[in-house]
Amino acid sequence: MLTAAQVADRLAAVRARMAAAARRSGRDPAAVTLVLASKTQPPDAIRAAYSAGARDFGENYVQEASSKRDSLAGLAGIRWHLIGHLQTNKAKSAAAIFDVIHSLDSARLALALYRARPAPPLRALIEVNLGGEATKTGVAPDAVAPLIDAARGKVQIVGLMTIPPPAPDPQASRPYFARLREIRDRLAAPTGLALSELSMGMTDDFEIAIEEGATIVRVGRAVFGERTR
């Protein structure tokens, strides 16, 4: 694990890169939220990032997040994001732990989250599988509008999320980020939803995502270093 000073330095460097990317695209850097992907990181690493100013943390698994949330209960203002796939049978636990779900991918899951937390509705983003990858969850682009209709009133749909196919060149992600923005722009008016959040971009390509309109980037390695497990 990195020292607290190293985490703070790396966090500052990521924020500087985010701000530069936002300015390149004529955007306000404050319009982009950094969610630190803290999967497999110990509570002390999260505490170090929190002390350096981070408040949003993303976890992939409900059980791991629950343990960390309990360990860090004293940190005021911390926000927990589920950025991994959520099984329907974990919806009740997830609704009690997370502030935002980035991976809504079915009407069944929306209903399970509603039953677990009818009010206030849980904030959620629809995960879109733009690469058509069988190994990834998320809905196809043409299934986004029907899912919005099915989930409306059950969760608060605030936007869309995607993970592009892996590629050696980060620029390969750009068309996917642009397409997610285009889907949002096309659906916002007919659905009557702002869909203001676009969660896209990770350590290797978050600057490109910001240039293409990301409002949330999910960064882990660039702040915490390589995962040890």
Q: Can you give the CATH number for the domain in which 115 is found?
A: 3.20.20.10
Element (H, E) at 168: none
Domain extent for 15: 4-224
Instruction: Evaluate whether residue 33 is within a structural domain.
Output: yes
CA dist list (Å): 209 to 47, 83, 128, 180, 204? 27, 16, 15, 10, 10
For residue 172, give both structure tokens: 């390969």
> Quick check: 99 pLDDT over 70?
yes
Tell me the pLDDT tens digit for each residue of 61-75: 999 999 999 999 999
Residues, the chain, total?
A: 229
Q: What is the mean pLDDT of residues 97-108?
A: 98
Instruction: Evaluate whether residue 156 is within a structural domain.
Output: yes
Instruction: Evaluate whether residue 130 is within a structural domain.
Output: yes
Are 6 and 51 a contacting pair, CB within 8 Å? no
pLDDT class of 229 with cuts at 50, 70, 90: low
What is residue 226's predicted lDDT score, i.e. its pLDDT?
85
Instruction: Evaluate whether residue 188 is within a structural domain.
Output: yes
Instruction: Evaluate whether residue 92 is within a structural domain.
Output: yes
Instruction: Evaluate whether residue 229 is within a structural domain.
Output: no
Number of domains in the chain: 1
